[in-house]
Amino acid sequence: MLTIIENILDEKQVRDFRQKLEAAEWIDGADSAGTRSVKVKQNLQLPRQNPLSVELGNVILRKLGNDPLFISAALAEKIWPPIFNLYQDGGHYGTHSDAALMRLPEANMTIRSDLSATIFLSDPDEYDGGELVIEQQYGAQPVKLAAGEMVLYPSSSLHQVMPVTRGRRICAITWMQSAVADVSARELLFDLDQSIQALTPDRPHDDPEINRLIHVYHNLLRRWAAV
């Protein structure tokens, strides 16, 4: 399942990000790819230790931590510091799967990547190509979102970024470890939570059926979560 979250960054934030990123010093993204991925990866990246990367990454992390749809869909336990990358002049990233275990030595942190996320920082009309194509059970789905929007997808999916044939595609990417590793269990919890959220405003406060659904939600979460 793909989850699209609108307005992770508002217009003003996107403008601020873009202004700062346009002036940044980008390096070859192949430096951070695995030995196999390096053959298919052709983009530019902001070094993780770059103070700008840390500053903007923290803005994103704060927004994620306050976004109800993200919280419900990801049930994130650990989130990788966001990475910024840039595709231009035919830059692309061929079909690959993301590493299952990712280690961040400076934070003494290891995460299992359950979910991957891309936050688009360029608008679709600024560049040609550059779709994020995610292979799913029912076929490949191209994703190209407005600046400030995010797609969340299972890290277990094969995916690629199509060549950017005009303009520049700037985005942020991150990964997270979910409290619920199993994709189908996580999706059931998400559906249940979304229905509870949708039903609640029309029901009286302390509605017994809503209370029972919340009870079921938390007991399923208790059964499936590993923290």
- Which residues contribute to the site for Ni ion (CB under 5 A)? 98
Measured from the CB atom, is 13 or 155 closer to Ni ion? 155
Write down the least CB distance from residue 159 to Ni ion, Å. 6
- Compute the distance between CA of residue 120 and CA of residue 143 in angstroms, rounded to an integer: 10
How many beta carbons lie within 10 A of that of residue 217, not counting itself?
Answer: 16
Residue nearest to Ni ion (CB): 98
CB 119 within 8 A of CB 173: yes
Measured from the CB atom, is 98 or 193 closer to Ni ion? 98
- Compute the distance between CA of residue 190 and CA of residue 184 in angstroms, rounded to an integer: 10
Measured from the CB atom, is 120 or 193 closer to Ni ion? 120
Measured from the CB atom, is 68 or 142 closer to Ni ion? 142
How many beta carbons lie within 10 A of that of residue 96, not counting itself?
Answer: 17
Q: Which residue has the tokens 């346009």?
A: 22
Write down the least CB distance from residue 215 to Ni ion, Å. 38
Write down the least CB distance from residue 174 to Ni ion, Å. 11
Nearest to 79 by CA among 60, 98, 93: 60
Write down the least CB distance from residue 92 to Ni ion, Å. 12
